[in-house]
């Protein structure tokens, strides 16, 4: 029971830190702010963490690990053995987008800290951030290759397409998810797919597969 209570209190301090970091930024936040938000004393905070930097690093590191897992999970949607039909390919793209946006919604408060505080100014996470960006771009490049095998996006440069896609996902997250209002993920995904359908359809007269043939 004591261990359960201890874990719960630690979790409450972490949640409070996310809120305070979001509002004030890691630089201006204090241990007293975090402890007070959690309904605890500074002494209690120091029982779990050496300083605010430790809890800050923990929050960012865990977020980046979980974000990477979310992106990696979409690989399974795009098998490399045989080309998918165009309908199945677009369904896979929709599910991939849904997984990423669902992750951002589930971690909305931490996402706000990362996007608004860490990405613009924190040099400590530049290397890790670049590693993740490279991974995302490579992964989306593979998705474009899978789409091309289905006859979609055959005239799109995979490298440029990857950069545009990753940037669009980031932009949509900032615009629709971070403000804290209720967001219909299904509608956001539908809008993305609408753009994709018009942007990656094969050139007129090209051979197509699946259920979107003209």
The residue whose two tokens read 């359908």 is: 197
- CATH architecture for residues 53-202: Orthogonal Bundle (1.10)
Query: Is 59 in contact with 113 (CB distance < 8 Å)?
Result: yes
Q: In this structure, are residues 183 and 105 in contact, taking their beta carbons and an 8 Å threshold?
A: yes
Ramachandran bin of 205, using left for φ above 0, alpha for ψ from -120 to 50, beta for the remaining angles: left
The DSSP symbol for 154 reads T
pLDDT given for residue 25 in this prediction: 85
pLDDT of res. 81: 76
Q: How far apart are CA 185 and CA 96, in angstroms?
A: 12
Model confidence, pTM = 0.79
- Tell me what pLDDT residue 115 has: 74
pLDDT at 205: 56
Alpha helices in the chain (DSSP H): 2-24, 31-37, 42-48, 52-72, 86-106, 108-113, 119-121, 126-149, 158-172, 185-199
Q: In a structure prediction context, what are the per-residue pLDDT tens digits for the chain, which is 214 residues long?
A: 445 558 899 999 999 999 999 888 888 999 999 999 999 999 999 999 999 999 999 998 999 899 999 999 999 999 877 899 999 999 999 999 999 999 988 998 888 888 765 555 566 777 777 888 899 999 999 999 999 999 988 888 989 999 999 999 988 888 877 766 677 888 888 888 887 776 555 555 555 544 444 3
CATH 1.10.357.10 in the chain: give the residue spans. Answer: 53-202
Where do you find CATH 1.10.10.60 in the chain? 1-49
Predicted local distance difference test score (pLDDT) of residue 210: 47
Contact 98, 185 (CB under 8 A): yes
Q: Residue 171: what pLDDT? A: 85
pLDDT at residue number 126: 73
Q: Which CATH class is domain 1-49?
A: mainly alpha
């Amino acid at each position: 029971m004591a261990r359960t209570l201890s874990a719960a209190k630690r979790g409450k301090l972490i949640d409070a830190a996310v809120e305070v970091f979001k509002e004030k930024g890691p630089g201006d936040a204090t241990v007293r702010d975090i402890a007070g938000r959690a309904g605890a004393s500074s002494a209690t905070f120091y029982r779990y963490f050496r300083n605010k930097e430790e809890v800050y690093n923990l929050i960012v590191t865990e977020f980046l690990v979980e974000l990477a897992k979310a992106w990696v999970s979409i690989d399974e949607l795009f098998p490399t053995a045989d080309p998918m039909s165009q309908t199945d390919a677009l369904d896979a793209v929709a599910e991939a987008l849904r997984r990423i946006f669902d992750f951002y919604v589930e971690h909305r408060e931490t996402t706000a800290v990362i996007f608004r505080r860490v990405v613009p100014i924190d040099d400590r996470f530049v290397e890790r951030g670049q590693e993740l960006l490279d991974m995302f771009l490579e992964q989306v490049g593979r998705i474009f290759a899978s789409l091309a095998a289905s006859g979609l996006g055959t005239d799109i440069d995979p490298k440029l397409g990857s950069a545009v896609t990753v940037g669009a996902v980031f932009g949509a997250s900032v615009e629709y998810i971070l403000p804290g209002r209720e967001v219909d993920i299904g509608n956001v995904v539908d809008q993305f797919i609408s753009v994709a359908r018009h942007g990656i359809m094969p050139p007129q007269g090209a051979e197509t597969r699946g259920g979107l043939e003209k």
